[in-house]
Chain A
């Protein structure tokens, strides 16, 4: 048996749903690419036939808007940061066969943690504030996931139902919080006061100005925290005993019990980690971008995280690339709506939905023919 290459080891654990015998690169790179191409083709048909615009021009506006300039990159990577956090959150829970739909609410409530950390203590330096914010946003996100986790583990209440409901509770709670606790004195705006200067995170314009980044985009150092989180999740899932137990539980609860793995413990821990990761998104959006706690700052990132995890096959590397794709769709979509007034905001959502449909739900539609193709190629070669 050949020694596994470094790349193979990196990709270890990409769930291969079939024993179809495709090479790894086809499974993790080719198939998503083909799916995205199909989704864009379908989107092109929508743009052409329903809106009557040139799909190639629309496509080039989107790609250019997202990747054509440092400005575009700044926004794309800012969104990517959000989606890496929420995507990792969903992915970790997925490994325990828990479908955490509550990323939206967990990230939202974690905003309180960011606000407390930034407003209560006069930090001498942003790095210290960042540590505190990371800790508190993780804690608040995990806390918000803890109740659904407990109800699932102990009472068998389905996590999908409870986490969805907790999104609504979080939305109402935050309205209360922003009207009664974190308010701007003498203003009707539902937001907290701005965080002190010392807590502001370095913008990409400050640390990556040599790449052309300017402070006109919200990209900030929390992008690196997202990448660190991805590495951490990879280590957790494939290198630690806890990750081993989480995956085992996800594959078979009966077998987990047989091996002495407590379902209650794993359900709780996996959901706490998942909620904590969702919560970290608030570093980027609250401390990093708005520098104050605002209404509805999550803006759907929690839900996009589900699509990102699905497309990334719950693997940190896949999640990062999927997050980049959705970051591009967000930023490029905004540019498209601006440049082509006929393409409304809702049409952008249609395109994003098509990508989710093709990469997530219709995955097997691409996979099966590809497997057949590889099979016949191999037979032909032998």
Chain B
């Protein structure tokens, strides 16, 4: 029997008082696809960073192909045949594919010989693994799926035998994800070992041979994928039984709350992001907007939330016009009109990371009279309000004095959700409600959204997670290239159908 491709023995790593990895042992056979799942902060990234030489383990050994290997930096990882495809691509946008591939692996001071050599190697690699990309295409002209292929090619060019992929499908359409999985299958056939880090249980079930579950820095289980079920993995991840399906009653839509007509958004560079779209949302209804990231959903949320001006169209809330360009077009005015907004990116938009939790609980609502005392802010009142919200929304730890950055992703999101939903807004704009949020918190946030709907409020949900869209929405609209490419009822559609709409193919209903 050949030695395993990777063997980790007793890896431990602490950051201050936080034990990120506790005595972790893992063995991955050559030519296998091994999944690693776990909630945010479970220690997956730390473990992979140790394997790739970003961090040094406090204790433990790394064995590669049966040999004990010391990996002090990423150069050493590359020499040991380990390649990493990051969640956020590390590509130079205005370089060509070849230029990106040789970056950092040039043969000499002059570029021309290395480029022509690399082009040959690249074409061979592409043929071997079915990774077609034009070697001379410029990165920014490529689709996200193709950019990811370049990342994989980069690792193969460096003769990586072990590939680590960190959340590779987060930015892909379903069909692009399928293509990626075909490529991974091909790589596996050629004897490459693949580690797939993901939080999507479906992917684990579809493609991996074995799967390890991490929880609170420990490896809680390693099982053969064929012998397990999504429910069992979810339970191992969270440590208790979780509801994977969203539980909700049929919608009971009332009057029209939000009416959007011919809304247009042009960004500062002159690109039309939202192209004259129209839709309505009724009271007690959730409209889900599906689509691959970057097709105008972000701008739609931002314009409705008062972050950017519109270039045309009208929006009414309960029949009353909303100012889209003038003095009343800012986030403050929107909040006064009863529009809550959970933004897509909580770390950059929704929270001030160095602010303590109580300061964040007032964020955007700091003009609220109950937060004032004379000319000063009533910090005591805000803190009390925060403590109370933290308890009801199960924010852990329930400490209003902790800076936002010290909370886990799920608890950060709960702070935002508590702030925006607790006031029972007439209309809730919510973008990527559970991105980077652990399973337990996902369940909680979904329940809150359903509860708001059942209270007769309108919800506009934007998400790139099809499962989430299908599970929560009462109606689904798909955005592609700034327009709504189709609208479906969740009961009358499936992932394949939505996937086509997301790719801009509008077929008649019922095709699957």
A interface list, Cβ under 8 A from B: 1, 4, 15, 19-21, 235, 239-241, 244-245, 247-248, 251-252, 254-255, 257-262, 375, 378-379
Contact = CB atoms under 8 A, between A and B. Distances in A.
Nearest to B377: A241
B16 A375 contact: yes
Top 6 A-B pairs ranked by shortest CB distance? A260-B331, A260-B332, A259-B364, A258-B349, A260-B330, A239-B376
A20 B18 CA distance: 12
Contacts of A257: 307, 331
Interface of B: 16-17, 305-307, 330-335, 341, 343, 348-355, 359, 362-364, 366-367, 372, 375-377, 379, 399, 401, 403, 405-406
B479 to A, nearest CB: 21
A251 B353 contact: yes
25 contacts: A1-B401, A235-B376, A239-B376, A241-B372, A244-B366, A244-B377, A245-B366, A247-B352, A248-B363, A251-B352, A252-B348, A252-B353, A254-B348, A255-B348, A255-B350, A255-B352, A258-B341, A259-B331, A259-B366, A260-B306, A260-B333, A260-B364, A261-B331, A262-B330, A375-B16
A9 B352 CA distance: 20
A254 B366 contact: no
A261 to B, nearest CB: 8
Given A19-B406, A241-B377, A260-B332, A255 B351 contact: yes
Contacts of B16: 20-21, 375
B376 A248 contact: no
A260 B352 contact: no
Nearest to B359: A244
B364 A258 contact: yes
Contacts of A378: 17
Contacts of A259: 331-332, 363-364, 366
A257 B348 CA distance: 11
B367 A258 contact: no
Contacts of B17: 21, 378-379
A378 B376 CA distance: 38
Q: Which of B16, B17, B343 has the most CB of A within 10 A?
A: B16
Contacts of A248: 352, 355, 363
Contact of B399 (A1, A251, A255): A1
A117 to B, nearest CB: 27
Nearest to A240: B376
Given A235-B376, A255-B350, A378-B17, 20 more contacts: A1-B399, A4-B401, A19-B406, A21-B16, A239-B379, A241-B367, A245-B366, A247-B355, A248-B355, A255-B349, A255-B351, A255-B352, A258-B343, A259-B331, A259-B332, A259-B363, A259-B366, A260-B331, A260-B334, A261-B331
Contact of B350 (A19, A241, A244, A258): A258
Contacts of B372: 241
Contacts of A251: 352-355
Nearest to A2: B401
Contacts of A240: 375-377
Contacts of B403: 19
Contacts of B364: 258-260
Contacts of B359: 244
A4 B367 CA distance: 25
A10 to B, nearest CB: 14
B62 to A, nearest CB: 25
B354 A258 contact: no
A198 B335 CA distance: 54
A260 B307 CA distance: 7
B307 A19 contact: no
A257 B352 CA distance: 12
B387 to A, nearest CB: 9
A141 B367 CA distance: 30
Contact of A15 (B351, B354, B375, B376): B354
A289 to B, nearest CB: 34
Nearest to A19: B406
A262 B351 CA distance: 16
B329 to A, nearest CB: 10
Contacts of B350: 255, 258
Contacts of B333: 260
A251 B376 CA distance: 21
A372 B357 CA distance: 26
A240 to B, nearest CB: 6
A235 B375 CA distance: 10
A77 B18 CA distance: 46
Contacts of A19: 403, 405-406
A252 B307 contact: no
B93 to A, nearest CB: 21
Contacts of A260: 306, 330-335, 364
Contacts of A15: 354
B376 A258 contact: no
Contacts of B341: 258
B17 to A, nearest CB: 8
Nearest to B306: A260
Contacts of B406: 19
A378 B14 CA distance: 14
A27 to B, nearest CB: 14
Nearest to A20: B16
Contacts of A254: 348-349
A288 to B, nearest CB: 30
A315 to B, nearest CB: 14
A235 B377 CA distance: 10
A258 B334 CA distance: 10
A263 B138 CA distance: 35
A258 B377 contact: no
A257 to B, nearest CB: 5
Nearest to A8: B401
A241 B368 CA distance: 11
B269 to A, nearest CB: 14
A248 B377 CA distance: 15
Contacts of B352: 247-248, 251-252, 255
B330 to A, nearest CB: 4
B227 to A, nearest CB: 41
A252 B349 CA distance: 8
A116 B402 CA distance: 50
Nearest to B336: A260
A244 B306 CA distance: 20
A251 B341 CA distance: 20
B405 to A, nearest CB: 7
A258 B332 CA distance: 9
A151 B48 CA distance: 47
A259 B349 CA distance: 8
Nearest to A379: B17
A259 to B, nearest CB: 4
A245 B350 CA distance: 14
A257 B349 CA distance: 8
Given A251-B354, A260-B333, A262-B330, A239 B377 contact: yes
A379 to B, nearest CB: 8
A95 to B, nearest CB: 12
A306 B306 CA distance: 36
A247 B362 CA distance: 14
A235 B374 CA distance: 13
A173 B305 CA distance: 46
